[in-house]
Structure 1
């Protein structure tokens, strides 16, 4: 038990992140519902999503150099504290209007765009202090996040039923407060990545340094392009294809939550398996193949089957495969990006990856309006498969050698031109 204190920081970091993620999933359900019952407008629900995601993505890029100056731990605590206040304002205002909601979710989204990146970067020093391989830690981190999704959204629905939408938002506020408290008391100041002592860079130079680092690494750019296309098609599947398939084929909204829950359940089970096998697998080939399996099969089955049981089974297996993707990308980022640039590079990676979400939703809506449901679903499956498997041809040598033999190629720095 002598190593217990060394693992306390890692456990505290994972706990704080999970607590705030759980509350956020409740808000994903509760705040749009609050907007709907307040304004009666589905379009206003879309405005709230945009008001959250646009500042989140912008801050992930432009706020990270400031986080490096302030300190990662201090930024994480500040982000959770500000989010506590913004969500409390929403929860505590009985006659709240749409402008106030938009302002609060925009502030919260902006501050979380920076705070989430700092928590991610802090994982590596916490893992090193605890003596746990970073691949295993990223698998645990992703598994806890998937678990928060699996549990948080249904709980959000129950809380709305019991206490109303604003009562449910209180849970999010309390979760951010708890996360800030855990960070302040249990994640020590020594948890920051070790960096050489040097004067702070000017803001624009710091921003450019992160962009240059990512732009020079062809392997990371290849993985990021794959994730962008995967997120684009996955968002189209979740927000357009699956709801329309459920409406057209099953004529019952009850199946919608079941299908989405099957994917999340598969991801949670897969994380348990991947956590055990993370240090034994060949990273790049597992990343590419699992990413392909996580999306294309469920699109093909949606486009060719009317059997709910088949769709649920394939969706569960897709979730199982998806569980390997984020941990491998995370471990590769930690290994290939210098510690003093990680906050900025991680922010750029998140912004590019998440940019696929709005693109996918828009393209899906337009394509279904013009060509019906089946053709866009099948085309989406083909695009997903091509975008995730074609890059294997370029890195096929790396993908065929065990991870422990080729670890240096995945961790020591950018691929040479």
Structure 2
């Protein structure tokens, strides 16, 4: 795919296009967080079956990941801007159908799967468009990626509580109607303000295009290693989020309110870290910053639970959120810089699928660890294993760089 990008005729047109696309990304992230709260709640109040809530979440997440990979060649062929607009407007229609439908769970699950599919394709298209629009406006991608991550984290912090408030005010269906409106707004903003001319991909087979993305990612050892590290961290992070932290709260504090406070402290730390990293990103060495950030973001929040002190848990969790804010912007900037433009949609979708695959694995392993070992031994084993796996790449980096700088070496 060869893209030629045209800013608006006015001198500040490129800045308007960049701001509009960034706003559309943030509004989309905010709407996604609302739907993550509202849709399971709608399933609960309509079916009175907590088990179906998990199925509803899977019905959205699995198509989201698969679509980001397997629909990428089609999106490249059709044009990313057109696909982004169509998927956002289509998501608005599907969310409206979910809000207005009184059909049973099978129909509802089908609509949720369609919504996840559209989101997977549309989110990837907007993400790929961000680089050329930002460069047209004169912004470096390291800082743009950091700013985007900070805004996305902010949307995560606001989105879930906002979803709860909307459910309280308007009910689950009303909250989903608001979500539908957010998708319509995104599609309208991109269609009206993001002036991007995208030529279709070069002719070729679908499977050939798909293989091209896989082959490139496999050949880039740096990106592959970073994605593997994020996958590993997501395994342990999801084990903590889904199993270990809730069980610790129930066992030690006995108050579900503390669960929201702990998760909120991590998200707040990530927002603060995103702001700081946006300012410092161009001056920091990328690989060691990435590895240190991952190491500090994962193992300490698990190991600190051994103290059974909520104040310390909140402080360490907040600091872990600050550290976590470094990894995604660095990965995003490297992807934009290293992946050719014609492959970005396919490679980005595959990269997202690899990273997100850690979530279901982590939930299963976390539950199995507690069942086999008990909560405290599971925390010890998980925390130490996570620390070992995240520190090892930094040790390797220090050793190899020290050897490369040693006298007498070529």
Same fold per superposition (TM over 0.5) = yes
Would you say 1:122 and 2:125 are equivalent positions? no
Q: Which residue of 99, 108, 111 corresponds with 1:104?
A: 111
- Which residue of structure 1 lines up, in the alignment, with residue 235 of structure 2? 232
Q: CA deviation at 1:376?
A: 1.5
Give CA deviations for 1:274-312 in whole Å, capped at 9, x if unaligned: 11011111001000000110111101001x111111111
CA distance in 2, matches of 1:378, 1:35: 36
- Which residue of structure 1 lines up, in the alignment, with residue 389 of structure 2? 387
Report if aligned partners of 2:60, 2:113 keep a CA contact under 8 Å in 1.
yes
Q: CA deviation at 1:397?
A: 7.4
Report if aligned partners of 1:301, 1:311 keep a CA contact under 8 Å in 2.
yes
Structure 1 residues 399 and 31 mapped into 2: Cα distance closer, same or farther (>3 Å)? farther
Would you say 1:142 and 2:149 are equivalent positions? yes
Report if aligned partners of 2:262, 2:317 keep a CA contact under 8 Å in 1.
yes
Q: CA deviation at 1:201?
A: 1.7
Q: In the TM superposition, what are the counterparts of 1:312-391 in structure 2 within 5 Å?
A: 312-391=314-393
Q: Which residue of 5, 27, 33 corresponds with 2:13?
A: 5
Q: In the TM superposition, what are the counterparts of 1:214-233 in structure 2 within 5 Å?
A: 214-233=217-236
Q: CA deviation at 1:389?
A: 2.2
Q: In the TM superposition, what are the counterparts of 1:55-74 in structure 2 within 5 Å?
A: 55-74=63-82
Structure 1 residues 96 and 162 mapped into 2: Cα distance closer, same or farther (>3 Å)? farther
SS of the residue corresponding to residue 233 of structure 1 reads helix
Report if aligned partners of 2:201, 2:342 keep a CA contact under 8 Å in 1.
no
Q: Which residue of 155, 158, 177 corresponds with 1:151?
A: 158
CA distance in 2, matches of 1:183, 1:348: 24
Q: CA deviation at 1:96?
A: 3.8
Is 371-380 or 230-239 further displaced after alignment? Answer: 371-380
Q: CA deviation at 1:396?
A: 3.7
Is 122-131 or 377-386 further displaced after alignment? Answer: 377-386
- Which residue of structure 1 lines up, in the alignment, with residue 100 of structure 2? 92
Q: CA deviation at 1:3?
A: 5.3
CA distance in 2, matches of 1:100, 1:167: 19
- Which residue of structure 2 lines up, in the alignment, with residue 48 of structure 1? 56
CA distance in 2, matches of 1:277, 1:70: 38
Q: Which residue of 204, 207, 210 corresponds with 2:210?
A: 207
Unpaired runs of at least 5, structure 2: 1-9, 403-410
Q: CA deviation at 1:22?
A: 0.9
Give CA deviations for 1:68-93 in whole Å, capped at 9, x if unaligned: 00111111111111111111011122
Q: CA deviation at 1:142?
A: 0.8
Report if aligned partners of 1:228, 1:352 keep a CA contact under 8 Å in 2.
yes
Aligned residues between the structures: 393
CA distance in 1, matches of 2:42, 2:112: 13
CA distance in 2, matches of 1:167, 1:238: 28
Q: In the TM superposition, what are the counterparts of 1:259-274 in structure 2 within 5 Å?
A: 259-274=262-277
Q: CA deviation at 1:198?
A: 7.0
Give CA deviations for 1:224-243 in whole Å, capped at 9, x if unaligned: 11000111111111111111
> Could you state the TM-score of these two structures normalised by the residue count of structure 2?
0.93
Structure 1 residues 397 and 111 mapped into 2: Cα distance closer, same or farther (>3 Å)? farther
Q: CA deviation at 1:398?
A: 8.4
Report if aligned partners of 1:87, 1:173 keep a CA contact under 8 Å in 2.
yes
Q: Which residue of 185, 188, 213 corresponds with 2:192?
A: 185
Would you say 1:161 and 2:163 are equivalent positions? no
Q: Following TM superposition, where does structure 1 have runs of at least 4 consecutive aligned residues deviating by more than 6 angstroms?
A: 397-400
Report if aligned partners of 1:222, 1:391 keep a CA contact under 8 Å in 2.
no
SS of the residue corresponding to residue 199 of structure 1 reads coil
Q: In the TM superposition, what are the counterparts of 1:391-402 in structure 2 within 5 Å?
A: 391-396=393-398
Structure 1 residues 397 and 114 mapped into 2: Cα distance closer, same or farther (>3 Å)? farther
Q: What do you get for the CA RMSD once the two structures are aligned? A: 1.6
Would you say 1:288 and 2:285 are equivalent positions? no
Structure 1 residues 198 and 105 mapped into 2: Cα distance closer, same or farther (>3 Å)? closer
SS of the residue corresponding to residue 201 of structure 1 reads coil
Would you say 1:251 and 2:271 are equivalent positions? no
Report if aligned partners of 1:90, 1:96 keep a CA contact under 8 Å in 2.
no
- Which residue of structure 1 lines up, in the alignment, with residue 407 of structure 2? none
Report if aligned partners of 2:40, 2:53 keep a CA contact under 8 Å in 1.
yes
CA distance in 1, matches of 2:146, 2:195: 23
Unpaired runs of at least 5, structure 1: 401-417
Would you say 1:307 and 2:309 are equivalent positions? yes
Q: CA deviation at 1:394?
A: 4.0
Q: CA deviation at 1:263?
A: 0.5
Report if aligned partners of 2:268, 2:318 keep a CA contact under 8 Å in 1.
yes
Report if aligned partners of 1:121, 1:343 keep a CA contact under 8 Å in 2.
yes
